[in-house]
Amino acid sequence: MNQKDRNELLSLWNDRSLSYIEPQSIKAQALRKGISVLRSFATDFLGLKKEHFDVRKNEGGIAVSGEVTLHTQPLPDHQYGIYIQLSQGWSLPIEGRLLIRSCKHAKDYTGGQNNHCTLTEFFRSEEDVERLRDFVRKLCVKHDLSKAWL
């Protein structure tokens, strides 16, 4: 994932509401970019093989942004996997948000404690993405680290 990918992700998810938007192709483009970036995060930053994680989208209806989810098996040498969901928040300002929590396996949909942050906190630079990777690794050992990246 390069700076251009991160900038495009931030622009698509932060600059406008993806609900009630015309043309709907902008929402589709945002979801595709979310899939691409989360897949890259799993392979390039977490070192996962494609068979150890799933990236999926839920387009939702016209009234919502939709969401992109990264869901993994336990990370290598860790007790837990990770569940990261990208969507837009419900309050102003309109911006991309991440829900991050640990999970016991790829079918665990409740997992550990929810951690919320803005997309901007972890995707402005490569150092930010590395900070996200470090937080994810800690979370996959402890299962419950509320806002440990602060």
The model carries a pTM of 0.89
Q: Give the DSSP H/E element, type plus range, for residue 74.
A: none
pLDDT per residue as tens digits for the range 45-73: 999 999 999 999 999 888 888 999 999 99
- Parse the chain into domains and list their residue ranges: 3-142
Q: Which residues pair with 55 in a beta bridge?
A: 70
- Distance between alpha carbon 86 and the CA centroid of its chain, in Å? 4
